[in-house]
Structure 1
Amino acid sequence: MTGSEEPPPSFRLAYAPGVTPAKWVKVWNERLPDIPLTLVQAAAAEVPELLREGDADVGLVRLPVDRTFFSAIPLYTETTVVIVPKDHLITAVDEVTLADLEDEVLFHPLDDVFDWDSPPGEPAFERPATTPDAVELVAANVGLLVVPQSLARLHHRRDLTYRPVSDAPRSSVALSWPEEATTDLVEEFIGIVRGRTVNSTRGRTQAKAGAEQQGKQAEPGSTRQKKPAGAKAAGPKAGGSKAGGSKATGAKAAGRGGRGRTGSGGGKPARRGKPRRSS
């Protein structure tokens, strides 16, 4: 490759654990097969940093993010669940509240996605480094773990289960990118995530191209500029013919009317005197 050649375009999508971008990646590969999409998985707190440093083009992040720097489109909000051993008493109910967990040991790993004002439950002897580490401790019957449902599914084990926590904080997932880096490829991915069809995407492109072409036609000296002038000139001609025909018809009618009133002489009618009496 010579120095003048540019590398082929690519697109990088960062995403937090538990988020599943597969359906959007599939659509991307179908619509833009010549532009590879690279997936970058990172801890939830690290995804915004990847975007900020330019190591990813867009990210599927867990809110909140810095809205002074990032644009974000909220996608969905997850149910919060508590992971418990399968033989735990909590499995006897369909859902629980935070009050039901206040006597339980709850782990708060360092990568916890919830910004707790006051963490529920009894504090554990230590904070696990990661959510997978905390899941291992739950399996060892040391404590319980509150997470978004997607993380409970991601770290599923046969000896564990989970139940919804009705009044717990919830985690929302959003598509995010640096506001000043809204490229055409970013717009393409936004359209895919929002469910735009290929036709709607082409429609926007064609409309943009049409607007640009219309702007070129309006430039002085363009060949297309003469067409509206010709069309304008043709208007009065057609209208004048119609008006002229009406005028002529009116004059002709007036002529007939005049002859009917004045007779063949065309001037004022001659006055006749009184007849003479015979003597």
Structure 2
Amino acid sequence: MKSRRAISLRAHHLPWNSAGNLADNDLTADDVVRETGWVFNNETGDELTLKAFVETGDKEVQRYIRLLQLESFQFENSTLLEIGSGIGRMTSSFTNRCNAVIAADVDSAFLERCRQTVARYGRIDRLSTLHVANGKTLGREDKSVDMTFSYITLQHCQPQDALALVSEAIRVTRSGGLIVLNFRTWVVSDIVLVPLGIAVRRLWKLPVLGRRLARWRWSTRLGWQANRLKPDTVLQQFESQLREIKIIHSIKRKLAVAASQDNTAQTVPTNRINPSHWWLVAQVS
């Protein structure tokens, strides 16, 4: 399988570029999961299969619907846009729940594999794909979806690109629709991890050696998290466009949100969320 991809050569895109090159080869679906699946769910092993990979996504979709208090959302009547679909780990579950799903990713080879995954484990008739070639613009009309969802994707973008994608998520979501976006914020270990990540991303820019490093798991784990965004950073820019804002975070840590304007965000501590992560769940005004 071959496809054309137009990916920016920014350093933080190189692991996806490398994984996409593998997905672009004539590997079986199970082999693609064994070679690249850890990029999406950090699981490794020679016994991994696409079926098991998709099952982890289905379980996470179920868990986050509960943890993020989305049970009342009418998925069956809705169009959902997923930013960072990858090869379809969670996308298949969304197509089984939603009226229509738009899978968006920076790598078109992943999107082709996503279509294959959904054809086997989801509803391919409900799926369309969207190539985010520049990593920050969603080629959709204004107010054209009911929910925009993103999980462990925005943290891998440069801060300005992540914020641009938040803006795009709000733009394409209808008034009264939901944005459900996952972010990474600062934790104590970042005192070490952030400088190491910067160093690794610089190494990725080296000719020949850089692309080889970007395929190694230890290197990717250190270098792929390109930003840490606090809730206040996001809300200062977008709060006026949102209502019924919830900041959902791990019960294991405190995550303060400064009061601003009249639309003060509600913080919701809960279990089974990574202490370094937080979610923005809000209606578009």
TM range (shorter): under 0.3
**Greater relative CO, 1 or 2 (CA 8 Å, sep 6+):** 1
What is the TM-score with the length of structure 2 in the denominator? 0.26
Largest Rg, 1 or 2: 1
| TM-score (normalizing by structure 1) | 0.27
